Amino acid sequence: MKRIVGMLGSMFLATALVCLAFGQSQSQQPHPVDPTAQAPATPPQGSTPPTFPTQSGEDKSATSTSKDSAKTFMGTVVLSQGDYVLRSGDKQYTLDDQSKAKQYVGKDVKVLGTLDRQKNQIHVESIDIAPNL
């Protein structure tokens, strides 16, 4: 009888130790990597700036002019209420050089110029056909 109790006790102890060891090894293993998971989206280095300059970070005082330095604007030239304008998304800007703009109606263009925010007008330096992406 002592022998059976001793064997059962040894088997119980061995089983408990195996379970304990197995449980610890599982918790120490890192979780498997999900091969379908995607890395977070990050903009590529040297990515193009936004089409239209934003005012974030710009605090213009009352004495400063409403004009910015020359920038590139992308969009489509359209005729709106008798004026040629540059339309990009939901924004629309009058182009001050109507004769240059007329030849690009309906085309995607790249306009180099300065934005007069008070008049919502781009003072055109040049207009070129936008490169296809």
Structural domains for the chain: 71-129 (2.40.50.430)
User: Model pTM greater than 0.75?
Assistant: no
Per-residue tens of pLDDT for the chain, all 133 residues: 778 877 776 776 677 666 666 665 555 555 565 555 555 555 555 544 455 554 444 444 333 344 558 899 999 999 999 999 999 889 999 999 999 999 999 999 999 999 999 999 999 999 999 887 5
Residue 56 CA to residue 87 CA, distance in Å, equals 21
